[in-house]
Structure 1
Amino acid sequence: MKVGFIGTGVMGSSLVKHLLEGGHEVSIFTRTAAKAEDLLEAGAQWKESPKLLAQDAEVIFTMVGYPIDVEQIYFGEEGIINNAKKGTVLIDLTTSKPELAQKIYDASRQKGLSSLDAPVSGGDVGARNGLLSIMVGGEEETFKQMQPLLDLFGGNIVHQGQAGAGQHTKMCNQIIIASNMMGVSESLIYALKAGLDPETVLLSISSGAAGSWSLSNLAPKMISRNFEPGFYIKHFIKDMRIAAEEAERMGLELPALRLSLSLFESLAERGYEDKGTQALIVQYEDSNLKEPKTF
């Protein structure tokens, strides 16, 4: 198929490679062309704008940073919706607002297009290995039509319901991660204070009842103080703010989410916004360790 892809960042770049390996003709747009040189060398075609990309694709994936970026790419005279050919399927992989997914769906239908909101989970590792969890909202017929493409990215792909359902499901995912990241950080600080070897502790607890993706994949990075991003703190803050706004709208009180959000916002204020979420350990180090860091 002729596939367009907008947003070739930490995760998007791997997904474009999967599409190319799957035999699809892929055109890409990203704000900085130089950052996509490896994809162009792999066979992707460069488009100078979302408009030009939209005019020459049967399916368009978007994976950008924030809801405002999604708005700018999809709407307006130069946007995807006004320039895509009738019958094109639009798939937003960005974690964004459920109401924006519904807005894209409604606008797409008026133009003879189809749309899915399909946020993902699994970070850079899941993207690289084609093992993302993909939570999909939109019409079931469109989902079934696009599943062969989504299969290139994910190992767990579930249709959750109508437009916006994928985004709501991603909020459920992020709420769990928010609490889990605090638990992982607190566990490692406790181990250190108790005089244990954190790496040996992980051998015991990673496969037990405490096991989680964050514990297995991010705790080792915390211990080695590798804070390079698989998932940016600034993007996790965006996700948690969306979840908190949706929770408030539904009349829910979620204290763990609020606490985690405040901790990550504090990290961002200290200059960690472009680091990976595993940098949360720094908050606990600063609060609990008087000696120089030993992680």
Structure 2
Amino acid sequence: MISPENTVVGFIGTGVMGKSMARNLLRAGYPVVVYTRSKEKAEDLLQEGANWADSPKTIAEKANVIISIVGYPSDVEEVYLGENGLIESCGENTYLIDMTTSTPSLAIKIYEAGKERKVHALDAPVSGGDIGARDGKLSIMVGGDHEDFLAVEPIFNILGTNIVYQGKAGSGQHTKMCNQIVISSSMIGVCEAIVYAEKSGLDPETVLKSISSGAAGSWALSNLAPRMIQGNFEPGFYIKHLIKDMNIALEEAKNMDMETPGLSLAISLYNKLAENGEENSGTQALYKYWNLEK
């Protein structure tokens, strides 16, 4: 059974979500070794007791459970399969958990490479944004071998509250695509509702009191609509990363000969925002689309 007494957790990627996730593991008593491309981003974690590693290879030499949450599939491939990457550098029976939103095909590739090295690889993307990461209430969607999922479940229980094993390798990433399709399409409705409320002369905060707990209720309406109203567009999740996710989902849907009109509309709107310099804003900045010059 994995526990703080027999486990060293390596953590790669201390961005908006990763930092809080690593902090929660520290607070649960796990020894944590962190690596990120910019050491400055990890300074507060180091002050709280985390140890620094200067490369994924060094992480692999020190940890027997390694978690990554990085930016893009190309980053995942470099961390896991590149020269001196995790697959090449870690010892047998190491558990590798990629929590980045990446491609199902890459998750399968990492899983198969891990099998050859007697390494346990899981794809376990998350949902819940900065708030879920901070509060340890993420939704975690897991693909890989079921026995490996059970082995690291104590780690998942620290990071999230809705933890579901989805199936074979790649299943976690496919599930995350379902999640991102819902998020991207429903965000259009949330933004339209707030803009409509404002243009009709209603108080949008009062409108939220009526609609957020009714049939229209959603996580985005409860957590992101208030940020829109306050003019807070700081990222809980970057627009540029949602665009990346939507492109993955579009490509996967295309491979399945599936039409995705809602997803296609959403990505067109977000691309316009990115072209207007909003790629590093939070996804709730879709609200600004209605003020763009058309």
Name 1:220's counterpart in structure 2: 226
Matches within 5 A, 1:194-233: 194-233=200-239
Name 1:280's counterpart in structure 2: 286
* 1:123 is aligned to 2:129: yes
Q: TM-score, normalised by structure 2?
A: 0.97
Name 1:7's counterpart in structure 2: 13
* 1:151 is aligned to 2:157: yes
The answer as to whether partners of 1:29 and 1:47 remain within 8 angstroms in 2 is yes
Q: Structure 1's 287 and 208: CA in aligned 2 closer, same or farther, altered over 3 A?
A: farther
Name 1:260's counterpart in structure 2: 266
The one-character-per-residue Cα deviations of 1:210-240 (angstroms, maximum 9, x if unpaired) are 0000000000111111110000000000000
Report the Cα distance in structure 1 between the residues aligned to 2:21 and 2:203, rounded to whole angstroms. Answer: 37
Superposition CA RMSD, Å? 0.9
Name 1:84's counterpart in structure 2: 90
Matches within 5 A, 1:96-135: 96-135=102-141
Q: Secondary structure at the match of 2:158?
A: coil
Matches within 5 A, 1:66-81: 66-81=72-87
Matches within 5 A, 1:238-249: 238-249=244-255
Report the Cα distance in structure 2 between the residues aligned to 1:76 and 1:175, rounded to whole angstroms. Answer: 30
Shift of 1:77: 2.7
**Which contiguous aligned blocks of 4+ residues in structure 1 show a shift greater than 6 angstroms?**
none
Q: Secondary structure at the match of 2:93?
A: coil
The answer as to whether partners of 1:189 and 1:285 remain within 8 angstroms in 2 is no
Q: Secondary structure at the match of 1:155?
A: strand
In the alignment of these two chains, the number of paired residues is 288
Amino acid aligned to 1:177: I
Amino acid aligned to 1:204: S
Q: Secondary structure at the match of 2:169?
A: coil
Name 2:101's counterpart in structure 1: 95
* 1:49 is aligned to 2:58: no
Is there any run of 5+ residues in structure 2 with no aligned partner, and where? 1-6
Shift of 1:206: 0.4
Report the Cα distance in structure 1 between the residues aligned to 2:138 and 2:188, rounded to whole angstroms. Answer: 23
Is there any run of 5+ residues in structure 1 with no aligned partner, and where? 289-295
The one-character-per-residue Cα deviations of 1:22-64 (angstroms, maximum 9, x if unpaired) are 1111100001111111100111000011111111111000000
Shift of 1:287: 6.3
Amino acid aligned to 2:167: G
